[in-house]
Homo-oligomer: A and B are copies of this chain.
Amino acid sequence: MLVNETKPFRELCRENGIAVTHQRQVLYETMKTMHGHPSPEEVYARVKKKVPAISLATVYKNIHIFVESGVFREVSLHHGSVRVEMNGEPHHHVVCSKCRKITDIGEKELGLGAKRSRLPGGFLVERYAVDVIGVCAKCQKSDC
């Protein structure tokens, strides 16, 4: 394989109006190989092996750029702080990917299973993120 494998990244940058820098490219290629759901610190640690002089700020800035341009995404929208739920009624949440506002939505109103592109109120659905909350097999025994 002698094909120029960097071509897709250059295109990707042109499409999103960002420069093709060495750091950005190594970040992109490194992240693509990472499995799971790494934190910025974990990405930083990994990419430092290839570009030891890279700054943590650069990692953060480029993760934001990648997420904004849709190259990668956030696992679930991060709110910066814990949010507490006092409403005991079973319900789900509508989260705006721009302002991150959290709004309740009833199960019936959501119609789980029959996805809608738009909800009552005008909310434009990008995707449903289903978090199944519970206890993993390991924690069930090891008591964590």
Task: Tell me the A residues contacting B by CB distance below 8 Å.
Answer: 31-32, 34-41, 43, 63, 66-67, 72-87, 90, 92-99, 101-103, 105, 110, 112-113, 119, 121-140, 144
Contacts and interface: CB of A to CB of B under 8 A. Distances in A.
One complex includes copies of this chain to the number of: 2
B98 A136 contact: yes
Nearest to A102: B37
A102 to B, nearest CB: 5
A111 to B, nearest CB: 10
B32 A86 contact: yes
B63 A74 contact: no
A135 B97 contact: yes
A136 B99 contact: yes
26 contacts: A37-B84, A37-B102, A39-B79, A39-B84, A73-B85, A75-B84, A77-B131, A78-B83, A94-B131, A97-B133, A97-B135, A98-B135, A98-B139, A98-B144, A99-B144, A119-B134, A123-B132, A123-B135, A123-B137, A124-B134, A124-B140, A125-B134, A126-B134, A128-B130, A128-B133, A129-B132
